[in-house]
Structure 1
Amino acid sequence: MQDAAATQTRQTDILDPARARAFQVALGDAATIDTGAPLPPFFHQLYFWDPQPPSGLGRDGHPKVGGLIPDLGLPRRMWAGGSLRFHAALHAGRPAEKTSRVTQVTRKDGRTGPLGFVTLTHEITQGGTLCVTERQDLVYRQDPDPAAPRPVAPQARTDETDLAQAAFTSTLLFRYSALTFNGHRIHYDLDYSRDVEGYAGLVVHGPLLAQQLMLMAERQGPIRSFSFRAASPLMHFETAALCRNGADMWVRGPDGRLVMSAEVTG
């Protein structure tokens, strides 16, 4: 359901355990989630699909802007970061409700031209209990200028106390796009990603990187909050280092650049 003013949406979904198990398998883990089991943090990304007919999609495969998200006249979209508070566990096989609203829209000039920033706030409830509060930060920008120099990403820290290597094949990107019903072509259409949006390859989903960091953190105990910020895109042919030192987490690219920074609390 979408409010008439297009400032808020509400969706309901049954959190199918089969979808969660499929995601576990796609990540190379055992399929352990059954009806009634608590979902790992951020697995709600697998649910609350918003399918649109072909006429309702933009050139990038995402739903057209102009509804909940305003049209800022900028064609390229990226998930810039966000934050999550986990108040209570979501359980597989049970209905849940997600309420989404736009809480901030700003424009400014960056080094590569005009930028538009949209902040969405999501609340997910199950059985009348607030389970997750999420802030999602989106950035919109112009098409790249082939003659412009590429921005230089900052270098990542090297003082991690925990480290895991992670590879993101084109197959994993496709399966994650399918499980989250994310039609953004930069994740599966190499020609579009390279020739239209100017990337060197397929772009690894920012939420997938954040998901891997959250699963890494959860192995040391339950987490109460998580925030993350994208610093540079990771390509499908690159192996990343997932790093942690205390509350700080980050993703380091194979050339040492910072891909994502994050903070976790348990």
Structure 2
Amino acid sequence: MQHGSPAPQRQNDVLDPARARALQAALGLAPDLEAGRALPPFFHQLYFWEARPPEELGRDGHPRTGIGLIPDMSLPRRMWAGGRLTFHSALIAGQTAEKTSVVLSATRKQGRTGPLAFVTLQHDIRQQGALCLTEEQDLVYREDPSPEQTAPAPPMAPTDEDSAHTRSFDTTLLFRYSALTFNGHRIHYDLDYAREVEGYDGLVTHGPLLAQLLMLMAEEELGQLGAFAFRATAPLTHVEPATFCRKGSTLWVRGPDGRQCMTAEAGL
């Protein structure tokens, strides 16, 4: 089933360097970003908040579908499944930017574990009239887990990386990342909700946070990014350390049991 697409959504925001410094600090980096400097890749996630009043939120803390840009998919669980980014030119801290978002596709299908809905959004971000960033964002919606249902086994991650580093997550980092990106999804801070309603083993480490760390790794080891694509393949909970791996231009996140949580490809 294909849904009709609403009108494009446009937002303006000043890319406040203080917010970027706050994310640098949360990630353990030197908080040194000043106005006039280029933002690191994916730091645009800190801006263009979709601030909705409480009555327009779903049970999970996210804006309800069917109110804003995303059509009503009639499925309760939301996941950011992946995305593709093209970096045309740097976004500059301290300057105003305009974001235009459209729905590229919205479909419902029958999956192995029940109905699924797939939504792909495209976001274009401009500064001073010039296109700086194009992002395609893939979202998946699904039913609540059934107690009788066995989750499919996640893929196992490769172990032949050229470089790797392991880092841990905690509730403070998850809270700070949720706050800085204005992400109200309760799976990241409400342990009872994450376990009892959505069926996770613990709080879920944000997929975009994993992607952010992979992009910073890619830029540090490969140079300035021209493109980046990522896909989430298994959730990572806040009590699990993760190993961030790279082989050539391919990157991935490996969980402590060897499962692959995310895979990515960097383009220069």
Q: What's 2:100 paired with?
A: 99
Q: Displacement, 1:246?
A: 0.6
1:68-217 mapped onto 2 (5 Å cutoff): 68-217=69-218
Q: What's 2:10 paired with?
A: 10
**Runs ≥4 residues deviating over 2 A:** none
- Amino acid corresponding to residue 83 of structure 2 in structure 1: G
Instruction: Give the whole-Å Cα distance in 1 for the aligned partners of 2:203 and 2:263.
Output: 21
Is contact 2:7-2:102 (8 Å) kept?
A: yes
Work out whether 1:27 is the aligned partner of 2:27. Answer: yes
Q: Displacement, 1:262?
A: 0.4
Instruction: Give the whole-Å Cα distance in 2 for the aligned partners of 1:107 and 1:208.
Output: 27
- Amino acid corresponding to residue 51 of structure 1 in structure 2: A
Normalising by structure 1, what TM-score?
0.97
Q: Displacement, 1:205?
A: 0.7
Instruction: Give the whole-Å Cα distance in 1 for the aligned partners of 2:84 and 2:162.
Output: 23
- Amino acid corresponding to residue 248 of structure 1 in structure 2: T
Aligned pair partner of 1:246 in 245, 248, 251: 248
Structure 1: 5+ residue stretches without partners? none
Instruction: Give the whole-Å Cα distance in 2 for the aligned partners of 1:182 and 1:94.
Output: 23
- Amino acid corresponding to residue 33 of structure 1 in structure 2: L
Structure 2: 5+ residue stretches without partners? none
Instruction: Give the whole-Å Cα distance in 2 for the aligned partners of 1:150 and 1:139.
Output: 16
Q: Displacement, 1:149?
A: 1.0
Q: Displacement, 1:29?
A: 0.6
Q: What's 2:266 paired with?
A: 264
1:42-53 mapped onto 2 (5 Å cutoff): 42-53=42-53
- 3-state DSSP of counterpart to 1:90: coil
Instruction: Give the whole-Å Cα distance in 2 for the aligned partners of 1:112 and 1:102.
Output: 25
- Amino acid corresponding to residue 8 of structure 1 in structure 2: P
Instruction: Give the whole-Å Cα distance in 2 for the aligned partners of 1:219 and 1:72.
Output: 39
Q: Deviations over 1:104-150 (max 9, x none)?
A: 11221112111000000000000111000000000000000011112
Is contact 2:144-2:197 (8 Å) kept?
A: yes
Q: What's 1:222 paired with?
A: 224
Instruction: Give the whole-Å Cα distance in 2 for the aligned partners of 1:204 and 1:37.
Output: 29
Instruction: Give the whole-Å Cα distance in 1 for the aligned partners of 2:169 and 2:152.
Output: 23
Q: Displacement, 1:168?
A: 1.5
- Amino acid corresponding to residue 178 of structure 1 in structure 2: A
Q: What's 2:62 paired with?
A: 62
- Amino acid corresponding to residue 105 of structure 1 in structure 2: A
Is contact 2:6-2:103 (8 Å) kept?
A: no
Q: Deviations over 1:68-118 (max 9, x none)?
A: 101111000000000000000001110000000000112211121110000
- Amino acid corresponding to residue 41 of structure 1 in structure 2: P
Instruction: Give the whole-Å Cα distance in 2 for the aligned partners of 1:6 and 1:133.
Output: 19
**Alignment RMSD (CA, Å):** 0.8
Q: Percent identity?
A: 65
- 3-state DSSP of counterpart to 1:174: helix
- Amino acid corresponding to residue 174 of structure 2 in structure 1: L
Instruction: Give the whole-Å Cα distance in 1 for the aligned partners of 2:156 and 2:201.
Output: 19
Q: Displacement, 1:7?
A: 2.9
- 3-state DSSP of counterpart to 2:117: strand
Q: Deviations over 1:55-74 (max 9, x none)?
A: 01000000011031011110
Q: Displacement, 1:6?
A: 3.1
Instruction: Give the whole-Å Cα distance in 1 for the aligned partners of 2:74 and 2:129.
Output: 39
